[in-house]
Amino acid sequence: MTMPATDEAVHVRAPGKINVFMRVGALDADGYHDVATAYQAVSLYEDVRAWPDDQFSVSFAGTIDTALLPTDASNLAIRAAKLLARHAGVPGGVRLEIEKHVPIAGGMGGGSADAAGTLVACDALWGTALPKEELHALAASLGADVPFSLSGGTAIGTGRGDRLSPALATGSFHWVLAVAEFGLSTPAVYRELDRRRDAGLEPSWRDHAHGAAVGLDSPTVDAAVLQALRAGDARRLAPALHNDLQSAALALAPGLGGILELGTENGALAGLVSGSGPTVAFLVDDADSAIELQVALSAARLTAVRVHGPVHGARVLTH
């Protein structure tokens, strides 16, 4: 069904994410890894505004430096808009303006949020009214984290991270993010993980509950993570936080180790590198604890941001 297209700007807000748990499988012949991850969408957003146009264009603003972001056809938001136009047979283009707050190359899915926001914005702008399943299929073809930014909330991702199943999470979890002034290349972090595994620098997986070895061919999310999310219990979740990519990120950016120590010394229940980094996410008890930790990290001249999760996925805002 095609809905009437609009001449007004469409405004969509899409969330960044934290990987509260991430297990990475062995390197496949196609150069990818199967993963098992627990995503949580958090209250750090990208704002995507879309206007009808004859061409496809994107510009950026926001609270972070966007000077190095490409604005040509290689940009993920442009790719998302063109993909939807081709898929739905839309003849025109779109002018996108994206206000960025999620760190670039920070392990929080900012580019994926841009793509998800663009899909939702263009779907509304052009009146294509695609079924949710079709939008998710288009999202998955753009990148592993894009479907999650569409759905938001808390979810388990398997395969490349794009096969999602909802995870029951009650209550709200409070996080403080230490945002680095540099980015890390996701492919470089995965390559470093493979190198470390080949060199025997990575320990065998262990099932935290039973101490049994786990094979690299079948990554799964630990039951302790699911139980803590279901209980809405930050103190239960803290010891279950895990990221297989963390040691590789620390090898490429050793200064992250000091940031992790600083956070736990100043009241964090636990901390971990989110995704491929370099953003470090600290789990805290409550909003007051988040303020105290933010102050401590800021005093150490770090950029610290308080967020909570889970939050909704990409959706149109009405003004």
Per the annotation, does 18 bind a ligand? no
Return d(Cα 316, Cα 4) in angstroms, integer. Answer: 16
Report whether 110 belongs to an annotated binding site: yes
Annotated binding residue 281: no
- Look at residue 102 and give its three-state secondary structure: coil
Element (H, E) at 309: strand 303-309
**106 marked as part of a ligand binding site:** yes
d(CA 176, CA 271): 9
Contact between 31 and 160 under an 8 Å Cβ cutoff? The reply is: no
Any known ligand binding at 1? Answer: no
67 is in an annotated binding site: no
Q: Is 215 annotated as a binding residue?
A: no
User: How far is it, in rounded angstroms, from Cα 136 to Cα 134?
Assistant: 5
Q: Which of 47, 114, 145, 222 is catalytic?
A: 145
Q: Is 145 a catalytic residue?
A: yes
**98 marked ligand binding residue:** no
Residues 260 and 268: their CA atoms lie apart, in Å, by 9
127 is in an annotated binding site: no
Nearest to 196 by CA among 244, 262, 268: 244
At which residue do the structure tokens 């390197």 appear? 27
3-state secondary structure of 213: strand
CA distance 278 to 268: 18
Say whether 238 counts as a known binding-site residue: no
Token digits of residue 177: 């993010």
Could you give the CA distance from residue 293 to residue 304 in angstroms, rounded to a whole number? 9
Question: Residue 17 forms beta bridges with which residues?
Answer: 41
SS3 127: coil
- Which amino acid appears at position 305 of this protein? V
Q: Is 123 a catalytic residue?
A: no
Helix (H) or strand (E) holding 99: strand 93-100
Residue 117 assigned ligand-binding role: no
Amino acid at 202: E
Which residues define the annotated binding site for ATP?
103-113
Write out the binding residues: 103-113
Tell me which residues are annotated as active site: 17, 145
